Structure 1
Amino acid sequence: MATLARKLGVADAVVVGLGAMLGAGIFAAFSPAAEAAGSGLLIGLGIAAVVAFCNATSSARLAAVHPESGGTYVYARRRLGTFWGFQAGWSFVVGKTASCAAMALTFASYAAPGQARLVAVLAVVALTALNYRGVQRSARLSRLIVALTLCTLVVVVVAALAGGTASSHNVAPFPGSDLRGILQSAGLLFFAFAGYARIATLGEEVVDPRRTIPRAVPLALGIVLVVYLVVAASALLAVGADGLAATTAPLRAVVEAGSYAHLSPVVQVGAAVASLGALLALILGVSRTTLAMARDRELPPFLGAIHPRHGVPYRAELAVAVVVIGLVAVLDVRGAIGFSSFGVLTYYTLTNASALRMRRDEGRAPHWVAALGLLGCLVLALTLPVGAVVGGAVVALLGAAVWLVRHRRA
């Protein structure tokens, strides 16, 4: 069987991780996090990073043993049973579909705040049409988006610190914070780390994966955490938690608050491009997982069709687009982020549970890593806003009911 060429070293794997994490989440997630925890969101950011590290480590070790497409959908089927594998895939599809809605709304909040829902729907339709014809985000385009995102964040930090509005009173001693609020902010900010497990999928492309991947994961997460902390602290200094919580485009508000308001269009463009790039990647990922589950008959088999000319899972992509448009119509950015976080945290709960079933000779990480990740995911999921928890639980139970009915018929 042909395999991919092993060309990527530690630095290459770190860049891939940065490209997956430094997306549009940072342009939206600070708003609901500030509403939940005030300036305590800085603590929440650190908690989210620790949980993300545990999850990514568990994913990396499992990927080395199960080098198959499908992620935790595959791991949980092998380690925990078919039901839990289905629940993992279901949670991923649900959570990432909500992420698509959040990214579409984030794009619209920056690009056309007066017509956010309409513009978000048009963005989903346009990117689905591109995907339908086989247009995908290339590695070169990913690097360009990362570079543009970093430049935009530099503009935000400079405008925040030098714009004349920065005040230490906005961050000390973490006004508006309590334990539940901080944990809720961590669950919401977990959304901004989405994509870190991309490193774990490189097992067939990196040199010495058992050494390279475990080194690249903490390096990439550490760099992203530093970037996010600098941006978050600067934004809080400039406008405070109330200023961040009052808008769905928090980083634009930071720039517009001071003497660098004329740079606001730069942030608008940077956020819009990052959001569209993230949305395109998310649609690709969700549709491919839907395809895999349809082929296994865990979802309706007709979703597993491949277009004879363009070679894409067009029915899965169209189904994902319809659901995303429905979510855009009923959710705001904050609701979409909360719902997405619940689904993804459920997914990684099963990742860590699968990792706990690994043997020492399979290269597993210390058990405390997976145990901490599992506990962290559960705690953060249950401390999310009530609407996200209730909605996520209902959808999870719906998935369980679908699985039970299907298997009883089988």
Structure 2
Amino acid sequence: MSDQGGLARRLGTGDAVVIGMGSMIGAGVFVAFAPAARAAGAGLLLGLAVAAAVAYANATASAQLAAQYPTSGGTYVYGRERLGPWWGFLAGWSFVIGKTASCAAMALTFAAYAAPAAWAKPVAVAAVVGLATVNYRGVTRTARLARVIVAVVLAALAVVILAGLFGAEPRWAQVTVWSSGSGGWYGVLQSAGLLFFAFAGYARIATLGEEVRDPASTIPRAIQIALGVTVVVYASIAVTLLTVLGPAGIAATSAPLASAVDASTWTWAGPVVRIGSATAALGALLALIAGVGRTELAMARTGDLPRWLAAVHPRYGVPHHAEIALAAAVCLLVLTVDLRGAIGFSSVGVLLYYLVANLAAFTQAPEHRRFPRALQGFGALGCVALVATLPPPSVLAGIGVLLVGLLYRAWRLRREPP
């Protein structure tokens, strides 16, 4: 039960695409547009374009690195190989801590849509346990469930678009990229920072690098397809919301997609959107558990986390100890912590993770380069700029937790020199 062998390569391009889409087209699309509109007003679409551009730069860095290093761990491995062990640890620690908080947030989001308030935490815990069990029994089951979730969420989003455009009274004059109330360039960048995290799921494909067939071609192809489809979906939703609610209407609600449907004559569509929101949260949680567990596996293999976490199940071929530990940590957070402040910290962690990815890809040799080096430079600068727009308390909290991790590694190396 504690064999540390390799993971089985069972996923094709289609499987990898739906896992990435299941991560990106998650709960974020149902809630992120409201704070983005409050930050940028009519500049929401411009913020979405900036977020997509930074996401594309980061995606090309991840794809290029994953093709050269087709193993579990994502940027944790890439940072170690290209920049050194400390950079790899920074990326891995940022990912594990930030995404553990995101797991808890997605579980609570699902419970908010699927259960009464009094039952929210127990239902959230049940969701974590159930999806961790799916991951435990093999990654092909994860891919099959991701297909179902993506289909349900896309259907719900299609209902929002159709209800807004044909069941309401769309006002196309409200679709613009700039106005006097747009919040200026800082507001646009802040909206981009908020919307960026709805794109971040393509990294899940890279963290599954040890489980896809022909990773050198499958991973870059799957990342670009998943991101391209997601950009089209998000742009369609953004335009629909602007035509129905306008920038002020989007900013005034915490559930803009539901508000857009409520503004239409399609009264039956409200429950559909609610089901879609809950399913989207489940999809994001499913992919997060798979990605974080495999990063823990990679870090445990090198000793940056306890080596007990490096065990691979001899029958199911998954990092079962890492996934059990992750599920326990997420359940503890769900039951004990108010995660509203943790979301900002999670954002800091994600951007630092991609910063390391861009810096690592920048150093790759010409024979491994698939995209211009300037694209990685743009991605790194974009990550730094978006971090700068986040609320200062979130940035300070994120940096503080990262320093704790770095101090732990320094202490471990003093006790156990390499």
Shorter-chain TM-score category? 0.7 to 0.9
Deviations 1:201-244 (A, max 9, x none): 5698566945x655554444232212101101212322234443
Say whether 1:111 aligns with 2:117.
Answer: no
Q: After alignment, is 32-41 or 220-229 more displaced?
A: 32-41
Q: After alignment, is 12-21 or 231-240 more displaced?
A: 12-21
Q: After alignment, is 363-372 or 42-51 more displaced?
A: 363-372
Match of 2:63 in 1: 60
CA contact (8 A) 1:28 1:248 kept: yes
Match of 2:274 among 268, 274, 278: 268
Q: Distance in 1 between matches of 2:406 and 2:210?
A: 31
Q: Distance in 1 between matches of 2:129 and 2:37?
A: 31
Match of 2:104 among 95, 101, 104: 101
User: Does the residue aligned with 1:95 lie in a helix, a strand or coil?
Assistant: helix
* 1:13-32 equivalence runs, <5 A: 17-32=20-35
- The structural deviation recorded for 1:117 is 4.5
User: Does the residue aligned with 1:193 lie in a helix, a strand or coil?
Assistant: coil
CA contact (8 A) 1:256 1:262 kept: no
- The structural deviation recorded for 1:367 is 1.5
Match of 2:36 in 1: 33
Match of 1:349 in 2: 355
Match of 2:77 in 1: 74
Question: Residues 41 and 108 from structure 1, CA distance in 2 versus in 1: closer, same or farther, beyond 3 angstroms?
Answer: farther
User: How many equivalent pairs are there?
Assistant: 407
Question: Residues 54 and 261 from structure 1, CA distance in 2 versus in 1: closer, same or farther, beyond 3 angstroms?
Answer: same
Question: Residues 110 and 177 from structure 1, CA distance in 2 versus in 1: closer, same or farther, beyond 3 angstroms?
Answer: farther
CA contact (8 A) 1:30 1:232 kept: yes
Q: Distance in 1 between matches of 2:403 and 2:7?
A: 39
Match of 1:42 in 2: 45
Q: Distance in 1 between matches of 2:36 and 2:311?
A: 40
Q: Distance in 2 between matches of 1:202 and 1:405?
A: 31
Q: Distance in 1 between matches of 2:111 and 2:80?
A: 38
- The Cα RMSD (Å) is 3.2
Q: Distance in 2 between matches of 1:266 and 1:6?
A: 33
CA contact (8 A) 1:165 1:239 kept: no
TM-score, with normalisation over the residues of structure 2? 0.85
Q: Distance in 1 between matches of 2:16 and 2:111?
A: 31
Q: After alignment, is 317-326 or 132-141 more displaced?
A: 132-141
Match of 2:258 in 1: 252
Q: Distance in 2 between matches of 1:197 and 1:127?
A: 19
* 1:144-293 equivalence runs, <5 A: 144-164=148-168, 166-168=170-172, 170-172=174-176, 173-174=178-179, 175-200=181-206, 205=212, 209=216, 214=220, 217-293=223-299
Question: Residues 107 and 205 from structure 1, CA distance in 2 versus in 1: closer, same or farther, beyond 3 angstroms?
Answer: closer
Deviations 1:330-367 (A, max 9, x none): 3455x454332221111110011111111113335321
CA contact (8 A) 1:101 1:336 kept: no
Deviations 1:258-293 (A, max 9, x none): 322321111111221221122122112212221321
User: Does the residue aligned with 1:358 lie in a helix, a strand or coil?
Assistant: coil
Match of 1:330 among 337, 343, 356: 337
Deviations 1:40-80 (A, max 9, x none): 22111111111111111111211222222211111111111
TM-score, with normalisation over the residues of structure 1? 0.86
Deviating above 6 A after TM superposition, structure 1's stretches of 4 or more consecutive aligned residues are 1-7, 307-311
Q: After alignment, is 227-236 or 256-265 more displaced?
A: 256-265
Question: Residues 217 and 300 from structure 1, CA distance in 2 versus in 1: closer, same or farther, beyond 3 angstroms?
Answer: closer
User: Does the residue aligned with 1:281 lie in a helix, a strand or coil?
Assistant: helix
Query: Percent identity of the aligned residues?
Result: 54
CA contact (8 A) 2:61 2:376 kept: yes
Q: After alignment, is 222-231 or 175-184 more displaced?
A: 175-184
Q: Distance in 1 between matches of 2:396 and 2:201?
A: 25
Stretches of structure 2 lacking an aligned partner (at least 5 in a row): none
CA contact (8 A) 1:37 1:184 kept: yes
Stretches of structure 1 lacking an aligned partner (at least 5 in a row): none
Match of 1:381 among 382, 387, 407: 387
| One-letter amino acid matched to 1:289 | T
- The structural deviation recorded for 1:198 is 4.6
Q: Distance in 2 between matches of 1:144 and 1:382?
A: 37
CA contact (8 A) 1:92 1:347 kept: yes
| One-letter amino acid matched to 1:26 | V
